[in-house]
Structure 1
Amino acid sequence: MPHASTDDYVSDFADFLRASPTSYHAAAEVARRLETAGFERLDERDAWPETPGRRVVVRDGAVIAWIQPEGATPTTPFNILGAHTDSPAFKLKPNPSTSAAGLVQANVEVYGGPLLNSWLDRELELAGRIATFDGTEHLVRTGALLRIPQLAIHLDRDANSGLALDKQRHVQPIWGAGAAGDILRVLADDAGVGRDDIAGFDVLTATVQPPERFGRDDVLFAAGRLDNLSSVFAGLVGLLDAAAAPAPASAHISVLAAFDHEELGSESRSGAAGPFLEDVLARVSSGLGATADDRRRAFADSLLVSSDAGHAVHPNFIEKHDPVNRPVLGGGVLLKLNANQRYATDAVGQAAWQAVCKRAGVDTQEFVSNNTVPCGTTIGPISATRLGIRTVDVGVPLLSMHSARELAHVDDLAALGRAAAGFLAGR
């Protein structure tokens, strides 16, 4: 693994998080780091090279990168680590500038399923992309700009008995006082374009508080967007490791696939339910001279590791978890199972992943839901259904999932990086 220690890994991960307030920034940062390491950036509109090499392509807030080794054939299988770049937040609506009671506000809607109360009384920034009339995209981020103020306890004496937030009335952030303001002008200034040049925007809120290590021996790690940049970063580290120490020629093609819009159900052109990964794999296979039958044979021998954060047992709500399988922070990488295929893991995939972790010296722990608390799902079942590739669901355990700031153990973060490196390098 490129990082010499857990401390190095977590420090670099914190830098990655700071550079990635939105899916668009995360995809750009993955591509930037890979290009720095010698990966070739491709454009989907161009013809792609058929020769061996290391390549990366970005589609909106998603990014796919791969290593095609010397000696790859039309039936060479793929080792794919899948993750997602988006996280719950608030997204600017059209006509985003509004005001009330002498305060300037932003008009937002809920993106995904955030823990609404966790976003109260935090300084937030706006980040994302704007598109100008000439078709150019610009990444933007404002720094600390907004806050969603909570109602004082004096005005709601029952707040501590059960806070109920209306998604329209109670979560519109403030960003100024007095005369009406223009958020789009702020974004235009950040991008270095004229206010009237903005033709469209995908802009969300993000917390500005930096990642933080704390607790006894500094083993706890808090930050926004651990779900699921913990997996994106692990896959990035794994692919860089595979590039530095490649697997034997033609053993497999290593792939990192980081999708957008998982928090919305993945149904978009850059989501796991869309054609992005299938398009890339088809183009890589075609470059190797593969027929449709060759591609099916390659897929039948491939493995997709769907890596997404999961739940550690909450010490204050133990009854919400399975009474027997109780993964904990610091206990190792999660292996996620569900009888109703909300996770795609089966026995064969489970065995394959356990072998990867054993070789990497990484502990694993099973996660399964309490029968009365249905679990969410991941890109795993979606990708398995679309591609027919055997898929296993894994991830790091978290507390406070979908909070504005989530909580992990540093050993679990680094362990996922080691496992991803072993998987993508074929070790």
Structure 2
Amino acid sequence: MSSSPTRFDRGHTDDLMTFLTASPSPYHAVATAAERLEKAGFRQVEETAAWDGTTGGRYVVRGGAIIAWYVPEGAAPHTPFRVVGAHTDSPNLRVKPRPDSGAHGWRQVAVEIYGGPLLNSWLDRDLGIAGRLSLRDGTHRLVNVDRPLLRVPQLAIHLDRGANDGLKLDRQRHMQPIWGLGDDVREGDLIRFLADGAGLDAEDVTGWDLMVHSVEPPAYLGRDRELLAAPRLDNLLSVHAGAAALAAVATAGTEPAHIPVLAAFDHEENGSESDTGAHGPLLGTVLERSVHARGGTYEDRARAFAGTVCLSSDVGHAVHPNYAERHDPTHHPRPNGGPILKVNVNQRYATDGSGRAVFAAACEEADVPWQTFVSNNDLPCGTTIGPITAARHGIRTVDIGVACLSMHSARELCGADDPYLLANALVAFLK
């Protein structure tokens, strides 16, 4: 083993592209992250099983969420945690319970709008379908049709002469993708198609969580390939960086001073109100069980949480060259300028002065440049899992991320260096 964690470079961004392609749904993202952690020596523990307090890496999977942690040699029950928080979900189109529809000779798939996507970015784009099928025996099967299967066709300019003056899309009528031709709607057609592809009997499929995704692969962009264009940068970029950093710290050969944790939640894009979202009890339960598995008491739990810090990592807005007036005039984060510290005094982000100091120290130790993001006062500010984590668990939390353009588009854009700069900062924070 080396005496210090790996230092990431552009190869990390290459690996991010592989991760994004393998993770078209939160369930795939969790499975991909778990596979990588397994290679670093982590092992899965079931929530229904008794946990022991032995050292090493563990992780828990619940639906589209994963919590992973590493207990170093000599960790006391009151040892604080260092948490990297992120989320696995992205705004998209999700399949309804009765998906088979159509009209006028077209076969269509009925979808519901998930989160707050840029709807126009899903038009005239080759789409696949992915997610999980729930089976009669209580198990699940991941499915991924990663080829052009569906398309949401835009109305021709000849039939909407005012489209370029401001396109207005009706979420119910205009966003239903086509996937074939036929006059009759055949109930169960989509599920039979997916079950056949997975080698399953459609009669054994009793439920599904399915969504569409762009099948265009991630790519470097620009004259000097200094930009990365890809789907689901919000927020699999942070999930990938957190998993890579946790694995690097766990295999470095030098035990960290705290207990490093990756907490990747589902349902951030619609408020985190679920058993796998940041507003649920999952993180607190896992951290408390870790304390108790090491022989800790309520007092040890309180001491550990009091010393814990969370970096809530999510993408933020780079200054847009065509809309610079939408940004704060003195805060212009740029691609490849390093990770951003996100600040909002109204607690849309959880950062305060002490949190800024923690983040600055990590970046300084990692020799990583960093920037600050603040919203324009005339525009509402988005939010993250940061304030939720701070309020629910009483954990000091700092909001950070990577600056990007086209947030919530089917295809987003960031600097090609920023993913590995973020990962290096996370390594310094976790170790």
TM-score for both structures, normalised by structure 1? 0.97
Q: Write the mapping of 1:26-425 to structure 2, written as runs, cut at 5 A.
A: 26-143=29-146, 144-179=148-183, 180=185, 182-248=189-255, 251-425=257-431
- Deviation of the 1:4 alpha carbon: 6.5
One-letter amino acid matched to 1:89: N
Preserved CA contact (<8 Å) 1:55 1:65: yes
Classify the secondary structure of the residue corresponding to 2:417: helix
What per-residue deviation string (whole Å, max 9, x for no partner) do you get for residues 332-351 of structure 1?
11000001000000100110
What per-residue deviation string (whole Å, max 9, x for no partner) do you get for residues 343-388 of structure 1?
0001001101100001101111100000111111000000001110
- Deviation of the 1:241 alpha carbon: 0.8
Preserved CA contact (<8 Å) 1:141 1:190: no
Classify the secondary structure of the residue corresponding to 1:216: coil
Classify the secondary structure of the residue corresponding to 1:142: strand
One-letter amino acid matched to 2:397: T
**How far apart, in 2, do the equivalents of 1:339 and 1:392 lie?**
12
**How far apart, in 2, do the equivalents of 1:268 and 1:95 lie?**
23
Structure 1 residues 54 and 24, CA gap change in structure 2 (3 angstroms): same
**How far apart, in 2, do the equivalents of 1:398 and 1:375 lie?**
16
One-letter amino acid matched to 2:218: P
Preserved CA contact (<8 Å) 2:133 2:205: yes
- Deviation of the 1:2 alpha carbon: 7.1
Aligned length: 424
Classify the secondary structure of the residue corresponding to 1:369: coil
Preserved CA contact (<8 Å) 1:31 1:57: no
Unpaired stretches in structure 2, ≥5 consecutive residues: none
One-letter amino acid matched to 1:11: D
- Deviation of the 1:186 alpha carbon: 1.4
Classify the secondary structure of the residue corresponding to 2:224: helix
One-letter amino acid matched to 2:430: L
**How far apart, in 2, do the equivalents of 1:2 and 1:414 lie?**
13
One-letter amino acid matched to 2:416: V
**How far apart, in 2, do the equivalents of 1:408 and 1:104 lie?**
36
Preserved CA contact (<8 Å) 1:130 1:138: yes
Structure 1 residues 221 and 49, CA gap change in structure 2 (3 angstroms): same
Unpaired stretches in structure 1, ≥5 consecutive residues: none
- Deviation of the 1:413 alpha carbon: 1.2
What per-residue deviation string (whole Å, max 9, x for no partner) do you get for residues 372-423 of structure 1?
1111100000000111010000000000000000000011111001111111
- Deviation of the 1:28 alpha carbon: 0.7
- Deviation of the 1:190 alpha carbon: 2.5
**How far apart, in 1, do the equivalents of 2:200 and 2:5 lie?**
39
One-letter amino acid matched to 1:229: L
**How far apart, in 2, do the equivalents of 1:152 and 1:386 lie?**
49
- Deviation of the 1:49 alpha carbon: 2.0
One-letter amino acid matched to 1:290: G
TM-score for both structures, normalised by structure 2? 0.96
CA RMSD in angstroms comes to: 1.2
**How far apart, in 1, do the equivalents of 2:41 and 2:241 lie?**
19
- Deviation of the 1:9 alpha carbon: 0.9
One-letter amino acid matched to 2:352: D
Classify the secondary structure of the residue corresponding to 1:218: coil
Preserved CA contact (<8 Å) 1:337 1:345: yes
- Deviation of the 1:37 alpha carbon: 2.0
**How far apart, in 2, do the equivalents of 1:5 and 1:284 lie?**
29
Classify the secondary structure of the residue corresponding to 1:141: strand
**How far apart, in 2, do the equivalents of 1:376 and 1:67 lie?**
32
One-letter amino acid matched to 1:121: D
- Deviation of the 1:55 alpha carbon: 0.8
Classify the secondary structure of the residue corresponding to 1:145: strand
Other-structure match for 1:10: 13
One-letter amino acid matched to 1:204: M
Preserved CA contact (<8 Å) 1:304 1:390: yes
